[in-house]
Amino acid sequence: MNPVQNLPWVFRNALLLFIMLHFNFMVSHGQFTQTVRGKVTDKVTSAPLPGVTIVLNDRSLNIGTITDSGGEFTFTRVPIGRNSFMFTFIGYESFQIKDIVISSGKGVFLSVEMTEKVEELEQVVIKAYKMGEVINKMANISAQSFSVEETEHFAGSWSDPARMATNFAGVASGNDTRNDIVIRGNSPNGLLWRLEGVDIPSPNHFAVQGSSGGPVCMLNSNLLTRSDFFTGAFPAQYGNALSGVFDLNMRNGNNEKREFILQTGLNGYEVGIEGPFSKNYGGSYMINGRYSFLDVLQKMGFNIVGGAVPTYSDLNFKIFLPIKNSGRITIFGIGGIDKINASADQSTDQFNPIANSDLSNTTYTGVVGIGHDLVIGEKSKLHTTFSVSTQRTNIVVDSIMPDYNRELYYSSNFTENEITLSTHFTHKIDARNTISFGISIKDKAINQNDSAKYMGDYLKLITLQNEHMQLFQGFAEWKHRFTSELSFYSGIHAQYLFLNGTKAVEPRLGLSFNFKKNQTVNLGFGIHSQTQSLPVYFAQTANSDRTTYWRTCENLDFTTSRHYILGYSNKFSESWNIKFETYFQDLWKIPVERTPSNFSVINLGATYYNGTQEKDSLVNNGKGRNYGVEMTLERYLNRNWYFLLTSSLFKSLYFASDRVWRNTVFSTRFMNNALLGFELPISKRSSLDLNLRFVWGGGLRQKSINKEASKDAGVIVYDDDKIYSEQAKDYMKLDYKMTLRHNMPHTTVEFAIDIANLTDRRNVFSQSFNPRTGLDSFTYQQGFLPTALLRVIF
Instruction: Calculate the average pLDDT of the chain.
Output: 84
Closest C-alpha to 434, from 91, 115, 119: 115
Dihedral angle computed from the Cα positions of residues 774, 775, 776 and 782, in that order, rounded to the nearest 10 degrees: -150
Q: What is the pLDDT of residue 295?
A: 65
Q: pLDDT tens digit string along 547-580?
A: 677 888 889 999 999 999 999 999 998 889 999 9
Residue of 281, 267, 273, 167 whose CA lies nearest to 223: 273
Name 636's Cβ contacts closer than 8 Å, sequence gap at least 6. Answer: 98, 130, 131, 575, 576, 577, 642
Residue 638: what pLDDT?
A: 83
What is the β-pairing status of strands 519-530 and 559-570? antiparallel
* Predicted pLDDT at 406: 64
Average pLDDT over residues 219-246: 91
| Whether residue 123 has pLDDT greater than 50 | no
Q: Is the pLDDT of residue 126 over 50?
A: no
Q: Residue 267's pLDDT band (boundaries 50, 70, 90)?
A: confident
Per-residue confidence (pLDDT) for residue 230, from 0 to 100: 93
Question: Average pLDDT in the 691-707 region?
Answer: 90
Q: Looking at residue 357, what is its pLDDT?
A: 64
Condensed to tens digits (0 to 9), the pLDDT of residues 206-218 reads 776 656 677 788 8
Give the pLDDT score at 612.
54
> pLDDT tens for residues 85-109?
889 999 898 888 887 888 888 888 8
- Is pLDDT at 263 greater than 60 in this prediction? yes
**Is residue 33 classed exposed, middle or buried when 0-12, 13-18 and 19+ CB atoms within 10 A define those classes?**
middle
For the purposes of burial, counting CB atoms within 10 Å of the CB of 278, is it exposed (0-12), middle (13-18) or buried (19 or more)?
exposed
| pLDDT digits 0-9 by tens, 395-425 | 877 765 555 566 677 788 888 899 999 999 9
Where does the pLDDT of residue 9 fall: very low under 50, low under 70, confident under 90, or very high at 90 and above?
Answer: very low
CB–CB of 685/647 below 8 Å?
no
Query: What amino acid is encoded at 199 in this protein?
Result: D
Spell out the residues 6+ positions from residue 578 whose beta carbon is closer than 8 angstroms to its own. Answer: 569, 570, 572, 631, 632, 633, 634
747, 641, 692, 691: which is closest to 99 by C-alpha? 641
Dihedral sign (CA 123, 69, 224, 256): negative
Contact 562, 568 (CB under 8 A): no
Q: Which of 304-313, 497-506, 631-640, 766-775 has the lowest mean pLDDT?
A: 304-313
What is the pLDDT averaged over residues 646-658?
Answer: 96
Written as one letter, the residue type at 149 is E
Indicate if the pLDDT at residue 127 is higher than 60: no
pLDDT at 497 over 90: yes
